[in-house]
Structure 1
Amino acid sequence: MPSRRFPLALLLALTLAGCATAPRAPVELNIVALNDFHGNLEPSKYNYKGADGKTETLRAGGIEVLSGALKAWRAEDKDLLVVGAGDLVGASPALSSMWADEPSIDAMNMLGLSASALGNHEFDAGRKELLRQQNGGCDSPRPDKACKLAPGFGGARFAYLATNVTDSATGKLLVPGWRIEDVKGVKVGLVGAVLQGTASVAMSSAIAGLTFADEAESINKAVPQMRAAGAQVLIALIHEGGSTVDAPDQPDCANLKGAIVDIAKKLDPAIRVVVSGHSHTGYLCKVDGRLVSQADAAGHLLTRIKMTVDPASGTVQSVAARNIILKPGDYAPEPQVSAFLANVKERSREQLARPIARLGVTMVARKSSEAGESPLGDLIADAIVAKMRDQGAQIGFMNPGGIRKDLEANADTTTTYGHAQAVLPFGNTLDLMDLTGAQIRALLEQQWARPAASESMVLQVSKGFSYRWDEKQPKGSRIVPGSVKLNGVPLDDNKTYRVVANNFLAEGGDNFPEFAKGTNRVATPIRDLDALIEYLGKTPDALAPSASLAASARIEKVR
């Protein structure tokens, strides 16, 4: 009778063959995204709009609660992947900016950030400083700040990515365009891009010799390269954004508007997730079936993204996301992060606490009126004219985008260096120039001719300068004829006026090219911050309490 027993070798071979063909279980990838951190090492004010449409104001963010949240989530998944969408530094509070933003780079290292797209603010101090922040070292265009917190600076342990920024002289990318992370055996391709319009929001001298290409086209060109290197799952990190009426934690929102929508629609279908930035808005939207997310700014939110992936084919089976508010106390911070922050605060305490003036109010607001004018904008414009008056300055202009926070004061209305620096963190210097009356009128019309123009970009003007505008008129013709006046006298188109502005505006920044046409130019080494501090110090208690509540009606909107 023939034996029914299989030879041992044959049985083993069949068993191994069965194992080889057994399908692998889907893999869950957990990603955490942040954007527009802007050096906010400590919690800051966050206006949260809920699903009911009501707005709640609270304090959120700061590296302690961020570290605690990431520690808790890593306990759930040790392979957590942390990514960013740019503007990690720049426009930072004094606690970071007074040390050349090195504390913020160190903080991102401690949080375990893997990669981030470049943002426009990474270019604030020029390409040399950007590359120093990436690679480390002390050779900086800001020698008074660099390597002063500690004797050496190691640079970012995460990778800055931008596949659309090219050195015009060499034709090579300024930083790598993409990288691949191995997460649970899945090759995750991260590709970065900064907004193509960086030239309109950065000083021309800071980005000289660089070209900024179309975001979607550049990313799509990188996809075959990433595939060839083994990438299975593709995630785009893009420093460009949009806005929506939906709550920041509304899943699959369908009302996203803005530049990021057109970019997302042009992306290779293989890219299922787009982490965006720049517009300082929280959202979890769907654009042509792909997730487009943003986590507000300043670490107020973190976006938790869960992707289920077939590890054999790399097929993304599902994508889900949540925006989590980071309120201090919700997560126990990492002790090393708390110790680091305490050290930075102690090293900074004396300078930040230095009193500079008594305001007479506890806050001067940057919120603008319906016409686009703000009390704080008035104050800054007055300060820069006062500083340059002996050099002939008659009119001062300030861009509202350069005013980063309200000017706050202590309970006794004393404001400090730290308060003032939080308002003007860029370290911009003041430039003088001559503009004709006709050029000034053309400049004012450019407030609405800009791409994606809004009333929030209405220039702030100094005392004695006034005009009226009518939004019912077409762009290019909104300034009411005869309304542009200096000290009550209509501007003469053919007369020359001496104008002062920060060097960002003077170079045509924020899409105001008329500034760049100014003549008889003088670039001074005087910082706008120093002008503001001096002005406040010379005028103790001069700010009326109403200064915090209303602008001075220098700019009027026709009703």
Structure 2
Amino acid sequence: MSATSHQQHRRRRTYALVATAAGLATVGALAAALPATATPESSGKGGHGHHFTRYQDVQLLSFNDLHGNLEPPSGSSGRVTEVQPDGTTKTIDAGGVEYLATHLRQAREGNKYSITAAGGDMVGASPLISGLFHDEPTIEALNKLDLDVTSVGNHEFDEGARELARLQKGGCHPTAGCYVEGEKFQGADFPYLAANVLDEKSGKPILKPYWVWKKKDVKVGFIGVTLEDTPGVVSAEGVKGLKFKDEVETINKYAKVLQRQGVKSIVALIHEGGFPASGSYNYDCDSPGAGSGVSGPIVDIAKNITPSVDALVTGHTHNAYVCTIPDPAGKPRMVTSAASFGRLYTDTTLTYDRFTGDIARTAVKSANHVVTRDVPKAPDMTALIDKWNTLAAPIGNRAIGYISADISNAGTESPIGDLIADAQLAHGKELDPETDLALMNPGGIRAPLTYAAKGSEGDGVVTYAEGFTVQPFSNTVNLQDFTGAQLVQVLKEQVSGTNAASPKVLQISSGLTYTLDLTKSGADRVVTDSIKLNGAAIDPAATYRVATNSFLAGGGDGFPTLGQGTNDLVGSDDLTALEKYLTANSSAGSPITPPAANRITVVK
């Protein structure tokens, strides 16, 4: 089959129509003709002498939060933890689409009824190989992976709804144009589902709200939503003109729509997630004494979604879990998440009952599997990576600094967080020597800097591509004035308000110190009289010049007070600030050592 005809075949298969009323009548007639006492092994003869089996296993392969990680992610971003039978743990190198493709293709072997779905954030905050080209390489890779359907995530809105529509439909970038002469970007072969993302003017979803997979007489409906709080975690420009509705209400609404169309087997793709009790991907979430084994926003969502939805594929928190959470009728329902960056995939067996057209919930089985790097690389993915790397190389391979060891992105205060905050403070002082401090949101830091990263030959060279992977958002560094009282309020907002349940601890520049007491609750966790700048207590009435990125300066990530600064001054983008700092403060003979991450004293 030619590439063109293969693509056309994929599009026809992907956008299969819902079954006709005549087809539904056939299923109803079969249900009526067969005994109610039939067991999963029961079979008989359908019309025209065809062999009929009541139960059909449908394989659902799923993953989430790929974030354009086509190449194997480095450092801790490219590892998973596995609990061993004796209770010890080991780490395994994982991820990379060359390996993900091989694992998914092997998993599909022998499964005639197989669907591949994703839980959002396929793109956005991507490494240079994808981000430099507005994530067209990732969409091409997902097409080759035979992805059937995905929900949108918050990062699908990083460049706004118009750019998301282009990723779906195709066409060259409005300002960057086509990247390969004579090649027009084709767009996604799979539907992006955005049931709870409405156009403010029309009140209608900006993309398809649901989609139905169909093979022979088996139909499975998918509803896709992103977290309602997307405007709180995306720049205001990215969500302009959009409304984000409640996840539960939206899923329940479209579950009724699907049922009216005769689709009884329904899966929700939800870009919102939870926090498992263990960091090991294969932890038994439902083990006795573990409670639900998972906490966080997804628990309440799962408990309130209509029982007519049979399974939930989730994401956003970058955690791994396979849990059952009771539905409103009290029946267990599978809720899964496959970590992030293509390190895991989930293999779920949905047992479809031809009598009812529904999933036999008691027979649902699920497990997360590691995308190990000990399998053959998929040659088509290697070719795709080589193509885009060749285009990116002149920009990506440039050295911008030197490090003496890995600079980690782990912990309440991370060494890489300190480094970035110091870089933004230095950039702020270039713009205005009166700049006092810098604050950086942890969610804007996407990776560590690794000493032996790909292409650096273990010599501590930091390339532009590595810097881009750490800070891919192109936020500007903004200066604003705040009173001391406002500055204290900002620090309290890390652990109160919308951040009370899941704190977002800002990374801080050198000179700012304070104590975070996690034995307390809410805003009291920030010990006010411990907050000092260069050894002096913060004066509530004094004015402080603060550097943040443009996302925080707009009040993003649950920091409304940061949206109230005055005397704004906009500098260069954050990656330029990091590059300047690394270039000025490191050389091959005198590399930067990892910061000590000792500015915040954490009491547990």
Establish whether TM, by shorter chain, passes 0.5. yes
Whether 1:206 and 2:238 are equivalent positions in the alignment is yes
**Helix, strand or coil at the partner of 2:204:** coil
Separation of aligned partners in 2, 1:252 and 1:23: 36
Matches within 5 A, 1:5-84: 24-44=53-73, 45-51=78-84, 52-84=86-118
Whether 1:391 and 2:431 are equivalent positions in the alignment is yes
Letter in structure 2 aligned against 1:212: F
Separation of aligned partners in 1, 2:88 and 2:262: 46
Shift of 1:424: 0.7
**Helix, strand or coil at the partner of 2:147:** coil
Question: Which segments of structure 1 move beyond 6 Å, counting only runs of 4 or more?
Answer: 15-18, 542-546
- Pick aligned residue for 1:147 from 178, 187, 194: 178
Whether 1:182 and 2:214 are equivalent positions in the alignment is yes
Letter in structure 2 aligned against 1:233: S
Does structure 1 conserve the Cα–Cα contact (< 8 Å) formed by 2:488 and 2:528?
Answer: no
Computed over aligned residues only, the root mean square deviation of the Cα atoms, in angstroms, reads 2.5
**Helix, strand or coil at the partner of 2:342:** coil
In the alignment, which residue of structure 1 is the partner of 2:227? 195
In the alignment, which residue of structure 1 is the partner of 2:343? 300
Separation of aligned partners in 2, 1:129 and 1:280: 24
Matches within 5 A, 1:150-299: 151-246=183-278, 247-250=280-283, 253=286, 254-288=292-326, 289-299=332-342
- Pick aligned residue for 1:506 from 531, 550, 553: 553
Letter in structure 2 aligned against 1:115: V
Separation of aligned partners in 2, 1:78 and 1:365: 44
Separation of aligned partners in 1, 2:151 and 2:386: 29
Separation of aligned partners in 1, 2:45 and 2:343: 51
Separation of aligned partners in 1, 2:543 and 2:119: 44
Letter in structure 1 aligned against 2:393: R
**Helix, strand or coil at the partner of 2:228:** coil
**Helix, strand or coil at the partner of 1:550:** coil
- The 3 A distance-change label for structure 1 pair 326 and 21 is closer
Separation of aligned partners in 2, 1:109 and 1:367: 33
Shift of 1:209: 2.3
Separation of aligned partners in 1, 2:530 and 2:473: 33
Does structure 2 conserve the Cα–Cα contact (< 8 Å) formed by 1:220 and 1:268?
Answer: yes
Letter in structure 2 aligned against 1:536: L
- The 3 A distance-change label for structure 1 pair 450 and 28 is same
Shift of 1:390: 3.2
In the alignment, which residue of structure 2 is the partner of 1:539? 585
Separation of aligned partners in 1, 2:45 and 2:63: 45
Whether 1:352 and 2:396 are equivalent positions in the alignment is yes
In the alignment, which residue of structure 2 is the partner of 1:419? 466
After superposition, the C-alpha distances for 1:56-90 in whole angstroms (9 at most, x for unaligned) are 22321211112112222333124421100000011
Shift of 1:273: 0.8
Does structure 1 conserve the Cα–Cα contact (< 8 Å) formed by 2:80 and 2:281?
Answer: no
Does structure 2 conserve the Cα–Cα contact (< 8 Å) formed by 1:34 and 1:301?
Answer: yes
- The 3 A distance-change label for structure 1 pair 22 and 112 is closer
**Helix, strand or coil at the partner of 1:421:** helix
Gaps (5+ residues) in structure 1?
1-14
Separation of aligned partners in 2, 1:201 and 1:540: 33
In the alignment, which residue of structure 1 is the partner of 2:448? 406
Does structure 1 conserve the Cα–Cα contact (< 8 Å) formed by 2:475 and 2:574?
Answer: yes
Separation of aligned partners in 1, 2:87 and 2:227: 30
Does structure 2 conserve the Cα–Cα contact (< 8 Å) formed by 1:431 and 1:522?
Answer: yes
Separation of aligned partners in 2, 1:319 and 1:468: 47
- The 3 A distance-change label for structure 1 pair 473 and 135 is same
- The 3 A distance-change label for structure 1 pair 219 and 558 is closer
After superposition, the C-alpha distances for 1:225-246 in whole angstroms (9 at most, x for unaligned) are 1122231310110011112225
Separation of aligned partners in 1, 2:131 and 2:57: 38
- The 3 A distance-change label for structure 1 pair 472 and 310 is closer
Separation of aligned partners in 2, 1:379 and 1:502: 14
Whether 1:311 and 2:346 are equivalent positions in the alignment is no
Separation of aligned partners in 1, 2:359 and 2:161: 37
Whether 1:113 and 2:147 are equivalent positions in the alignment is yes
Does structure 1 conserve the Cα–Cα contact (< 8 Å) formed by 2:484 and 2:541?
Answer: yes
Letter in structure 2 aligned against 1:180: V
Shift of 1:19: 5.5
Separation of aligned partners in 2, 1:53 and 1:542: 43
Mean Cα displacement is larger for which, 462-471 or 505-514?
462-471
Shift of 1:454: 6.7
After superposition, the C-alpha distances for 1:25-65 in whole angstroms (9 at most, x for unaligned) are 32221111010011110122213131554332232121111
After superposition, the C-alpha distances for 1:91-117 in whole angstroms (9 at most, x for unaligned) are 111111111111111101111111111
In the alignment, which residue of structure 2 is the partner of 1:342? 386
**Helix, strand or coil at the partner of 2:392:** helix
- The 3 A distance-change label for structure 1 pair 86 and 455 is closer
Mean Cα displacement is larger for which, 214-223 or 383-392?
383-392
Mean Cα displacement is larger for which, 482-491 or 527-536?
482-491
TM-score, normalising length: structure 1: 0.90
Separation of aligned partners in 2, 1:422 and 1:21: 55
Letter in structure 2 aligned against 1:350: P
Shift of 1:549: 6.6
Letter in structure 2 aligned against 1:320: K
